[in-house]
């Protein structure tokens, strides 16, 4: 996604990996790939990156 959409360019590499790890690690049960992606997108939609 970072390669296709210029708005995602700042999240390339380590910041995106950290965001995914934190979003997935806070769940107390195993997640499938779809659920994990939804959880990461929910974190972004909640405004986690706003100043």
* Residue 20 forms part of a structural domain: yes
Does the model's pTM come out above 0.85?
Answer: no
* Residue 18 forms part of a structural domain: yes
**Count of domains observed in the chain:** 1
- pLDDT of the residue at 5: 87
Domain of residue 31 covers 6-45
Mean pLDDT, residues 29-45:
94
pLDDT digits (tens, 9 = 90+) for 10-31: 888 898 899 999 999 999 999 9
Q: What is the CA radius of gyration of the chain?
A: 11
**Residue in this structure with the two tokens 């970072």, named with its chain if needed:** 2
* Residue 21 forms part of a structural domain: yes
* Residue 50 forms part of a structural domain: no
d(Cα 3, Cα 45) in Å, to the nearest integer?
A: 20
* Residue 41 forms part of a structural domain: yes
Mean pLDDT, residues 32-36:
95
- pLDDT of the residue at 38: 96
d(Cα 14, Cα 19) in Å, to the nearest integer?
A: 9
* Residue 35 forms part of a structural domain: yes
């Amino acid at each position: 996604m970072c390669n296709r959409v210029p708005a995602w360019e700042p999240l390339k590499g380590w910041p995106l990996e950290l965001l995914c790890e934190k979003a997935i690690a806070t769940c107390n049960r195993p997640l499938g790939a779809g659920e994990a992606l939804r959880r990461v997108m929910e974190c972004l939609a909640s405004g986690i990156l706003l100043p």
